[in-house]
Each structure stands twice: as C-alpha cells, then as structure tokens.
Amino acid sequence: QVQLQESGPGLVKPSETLSLTCTVSGGYVNNYYWSWIRQPPGKGLEWIGYIYYSGSTTYNPSLKSRVTISLDTSKNQFSLKLSSVTAADTAVYYCARRTSNSASFPFDPWGQGTLVTVSS
C-alpha cells in the first residue's frame, strides 16, 4: 500500500523560500500525478499544483508565480518550493497522489501533513 510522508523545516522566515519533500513508499512515482495541497490553520483546503512522472507540471494560477514542483525518480520523491513567503502561507502542507489526470480520479492517498509556520 502506497504511503506518503512530508518532510522539511517547520519554520520559515518571511520573504524566504519554503521547501518541502514528499517521500513515496510502497510504490513508485512512475505513471501517477503527484500534488501538493495546503490548509491554513482552521481553514479549508487549497490545491497548490501537481507534477506528472514525465516532469510536466500544472500550478494553481493564484500561486503560479511563486511555486515550483519537481520530481526525483531515483529517490522516489517529489518536492515543493514556494518563494517569497508571507504569514498567509502558514499552513499544513499535504502531498497526495492521483492515478489519472481525469477529473474522475480523486486525491488518494494523502500524506499525514506537515505544519509550516512563516514567522521571523
């Protein structure tokens, strides 16, 4: 059974770059779509973007100018970089998988999430 685990710094200073990694175990990153989703404290879910195993990416238009998602097939990992962060980027960040890019396929499974706080 595929499991996802987020990792990275829990505290980032304003204007710096947030960097997170999602490690995939129990399966391979090939042939799937890998997403990042975030949830500010006490608020709802926001899709950030995804990467296909081929390396192609799609980002949320509201974050596109600041987001980069990359894939390392040799390590079975994918990563998120979010630049020029502010307090509004404080959130629990989740990684998740989709089996196909069709809208008929949900996000499943999800990682347990990691809290990133933006503060000086």
Q: Which residues bind another protein (CB under 8 A)?
A: 35, 44-47, 50, 58, 60-62, 94, 103-113
Check if the beta carbon of residue 3 is closer than 8 Å to that of residue 101. no
Choice between 47 and 52, CB closer to another protein? 47
In three-state secondary structure terms, 84 is coil
Taking the alpha carbons of 52, 54, 58, 59 in that order, is the dihedral positive or negative? positive
CB of residue 24 to another protein, shortest distance in Å: 15
**Distance, CA of 12 to CA of 89 (rounded, Å):** 10
Instruction: Find the shortest distance in angstroms from Cβ 72 to another protein.
Output: 23
CB of 36 to another protein, least distance (A): 11
Instruction: Give the nearest distance from C-beta 47 to another protein in angstroms.
Output: 4
Nearer to another protein, 45 or 87 (CB): 45
Give 86 or 102: the residue with its C-beta nearer to another protein.
102
Give the residue with the Cβ less far from another protein, 41 or 74: 41
As a whole number of angstroms, the distance between CA 115 and CA 71 comes to: 21
Beta carbons within 8 Å of 55's beta carbon, 6+ residues apart:
71
